[in-house]
Amino acid sequence: MTAFSVENENGIAVVTFDLPGEPVNKLTGDVMDEFGSLLSRLGEDGMVRGVVLISGKPDNFIAGADIEQFSRLRSAAEASALSREGQEIADRVAGFPKPFVVAIHGACLGGGFELALACHWRVISDSPKTQLGLPEVQLGILPGVGGTQRLPRLVGVRAALDMILAGKSERADKAYRLGMADEIVPESILRQTAIAAAERIVRNGPPRRAHKGGAQALFLDRTPIGRRIVYAQAEKQVRERTGGHYPAPLASIEAVKTGLERGLNAGLKEESRLFGELAMTDVSRNLVQIFFATTALKKDDGVPGAAALKVSPVRRLAMVGAGFMGAAIAGTAVLNAEVEARLKDADLPKVGKGIRGARRILDDRLKRRRLKQPKYEQLVALLSGAADYSGFLRADLVIEAVFEDLDVKRRVLAEVERETRDTAIFATNTSTIPIGSIAAGSARPEQVIGMHFFSPVEKMPLLEVIPHAGTSAETVVRAVRFGRKMGKTVIVVGDSPGFWVNRILLPYMNEAGILVREGVPIDLIDRTMTEYGFPVGPVTLLDEVGLDVGAKVAKVMHGAYGDRLEPSDALERMLADGRQGRKNGRGFYEYRDGKKAGPDASVYSLLGVTPQENTPAATVERRLLYAMLNEAAMAAHEGVIRTPRDGDIGAIFGIGYPAFRGGPLRTIDTLGPARVADTLRELAGIYGHRFRPSASLVAMADRGEKFYPE
């Protein structure tokens, strides 16, 4: 293998990294070996006075260590050794006897960024494709090639922790501002600039870097007392954010601290030791699986043989319904897919409100400097609307986001079919109505499909695409690809009530209602599930979604699946008392000035119960969790999802199922299907038949199978 090629430019060796046969550069064992020998050669070569490292890939510098290789590690010792080998290479770069400059364009992540940090001078391109970061904690590990040591020394402990603990990456201009790069230039002169920098250092000796930041920064970053404050604050924040479920951020703080307080060598040693430990945790294994699942979904068009189909991309979108959902879908489409979006609603004031709503998403990006003014203006111009169907003839895709009512949706479909070209797709953003029944009266049912977005659309990463029995493969592919262009992770799911996400969410929400109805304290229920790892508890979620919406979905699901999904009367009673949740400031919680306050104590008397303060959290957790697990297993076996992977990603991205647990189906595997079935039987014995394990789960347990074969 030759991943590196060298050209000598007047004494500067330009080393181009281009891993053969791969879309991105990554640091495999072989790559590191080859790079190591190259360093020896360049060090000894009398014709070489300085080195420039650059990538041969169009828009990628180095994506980090090879995650595939990393996921095959079997022991902490093996993982630590790998980290130490990487550190040694980085040390050799840092101590290289000749100027070593790096030229970065594209993603420079993980081990790739750590290698860059060891170089003597960093030049980056100002392209939006360029991003520098240490995403390791998102894989449940920490930067293991000296990143926890060199980044804080370069940019200060606060900026470094900010990045490492969130696993985030920075775009070129911000990375430069923070001091992660020494020069920022247009891509077209990146290579020459790096060569010139190497020559300059050969001539003038090592450059000095001015420290950025004021007196407070100096105090906090540069004194042991100041840093102690920073570590303590960071630890507190991490504990609050992760509930102690994610060990990697805390370990990162430990590695940074050791290095800054006890020296580089001690720090590197601690870094590789912790790296080894973290690599073996279930948390890391689950997060790595999620990485693989999301990258696989980026290429999955939802039907077998999609590559052979002839489908044209969606260039123009039209929306029917410019309400909250419609506006957010249009705004997100314009922002990410850069398509024209035409909004239609019943009257012009509604249309105007919708366009303003869509524009707010763009305004927000402009404010946060994620969009530049000219681009912003160009995007705003893509939004238009009317109170009739004018402009719909141009649309390739029409998304309907009107009132949840079958007759209304059918009427809209008929109108849209009259007003659009016969190649246009009609997608409905229903959350409860079967796509097949909406399509029943369609003139072109093969072009009718469901696209179920989650609110807030601009933030939620998931999209469910739902073909009905008569949807064509081409329509599926067009919808999936467009969803991806909108920035979503897309799963294709079956056309049965609740599809996937609401199907598994509903029994969980129902159980929360039943618990409240028994007098189990609202905050106990919510706290139990946030401690399990959900971002919010089920009762808070009910308030957020709206009790009217929740009750309606519950009714539909009860009708579809019968007794098992019978809701308590908690929501009906709340609604009768005029409580709709956050939107009208009255729900299970109190709201003051639009902010959620504590649980509303009057709920208990409204429901005629006394708070059961002594309910064990373990009981609450089991009832809520197992309601979801049982439904997930059942729906998976019915074929609602194509693979367990889709199901777990849907749960994590759609409802915030704790990522470190890998998803509900992964949880069943971890607990063991037989144990899950036993617990469900036990729960059914106490609380009733709604907990009876599904026949398919029992059969699976009997056969000793799992969702993910080992």
Q: Which residues bind ligand T1G (CB under 6 A)?
A: 23-24, 26, 60, 63-68, 70, 86, 107, 109-111, 114, 135-136, 139, 141, 143-145, 147, 295, 298-299
Give the count of beta carbons closer than 10 Å to the beta carbon of residue 177. 12
Q: In angstroms, how far is the first alpha carbon of the chain from the final one?
A: 31
> Shortest gap between Cβ of 129 and ligand T1G (angstroms)?
9
**Which 3 state secondary structure label does DSSP give 401?**
coil
What's the alpha-carbon Rg for the chain, to the nearest Å? 28
Find the shortest distance in angstroms from Cβ 97 to ligand T1G.
Answer: 25
Nearer to ligand T1G, 295 or 378 (CB): 295
Q: Which is nearer to ligand T1G, 71 or 696 (CB)?
A: 71
Distance CA 500, CA 373 (A): 40
Cβ 67 to ligand T1G, closest distance in Å?
4
Query: Which lies closer to ligand T1G via its Cβ, residue 68 or residue 682?
Result: 68
Q: How far is CA 288 from CA 134, 272, 405, 597, 653, in A?
A: 15, 19, 41, 37, 15
Residue placing its CB nearer to ligand T1G in the complex, 7 or 338: 338
Determine contact, residues 40/34, Cβ cutoff 8 Å: no
* Minimum CB distance to ligand T1G, residue 31 (Å): 11
To the nearest whole angstrom, how small is the minimum distance from the Cβ of residue 297 to ligand T1G?
A: 10
Shortest CB 28 distance to ligand T1G, Å: 9
Which of the residues 419, 464, 511, 631 is marked catalytic? 464
Task: Give me the amino acid identity at 101.
Answer: V
Report yes or no: 531 and 617 within 8 Å, Cβ to Cβ: yes
Distances (CA, A) of 197 to 47, 55, 118, 201, 521: 18, 17, 16, 6, 65
List, as one string, the DSSP characters of 159-176.
Answer: HHHHHHHHT-EEEHHHHH
CA-nearest of 519, 516, 466 to 493 is 466
- Residues forming a β-bridge with 494: none
What does the CA dihedral 678, 683, 684, 687 come to, rounded to 10 degrees? 180
Q: Which is nearer to ligand T1G, 63 or 529 (CB)?
A: 63
| Beta carbon nearer to ligand T1G, 148 or 442 | 148
The number of C-alpha atoms within 13 Å of 89 and in the hemisphere containing its C-beta is 26
Judged by beta carbon, residue 86 or residue 467, the one nearer ligand T1G is 86
Residue 70 vs 707, nearer CB to ligand T1G = 70
3-state secondary structure (DSSP) of residue 210: coil
Cβ 26 vs Cβ 62: under 8 Å: yes
User: Toward ligand T1G, which CB reaches closer, 74 or 299?
Assistant: 299
Three-class SS of 639-696: CCECCHHHHHHHHHHHHCCCHHHCCHHHHHHHHCHHHHHHHHHHHHHHHCHHHCCCHH
Could you tell me the smallest distance in angstroms from the CB atom of residue 340 to ligand T1G?
25
CA atoms within a 13 Å half-sphere pointing along the CA-CB vector of 26: 13
* Alpha-carbon span 154 to 118, nearest angstrom: 10
CB of 89 to ligand T1G, least distance (A): 11
Among the listed residues 47, 44, 36, 37, the one whose alpha carbon sits nearest the alpha carbon of residue 14: 47
Is 464 annotated in the active site? yes
- Exposed, middle or buried, 531 (CB in 10 Å: 0-12/13-18/19+)? middle
The least CB distance from residue 379 to ligand T1G, in Å, is 21
Question: In the complex, which residue's CB is closest to ligand T1G?
Answer: 110
What is the spatial order of strands in the sheet that 340-344 belongs to? 383-386, 340-344, 316-320, 397-400, 425-428, 448-453, 462-467, 489-492
Residues designated as active site:
464
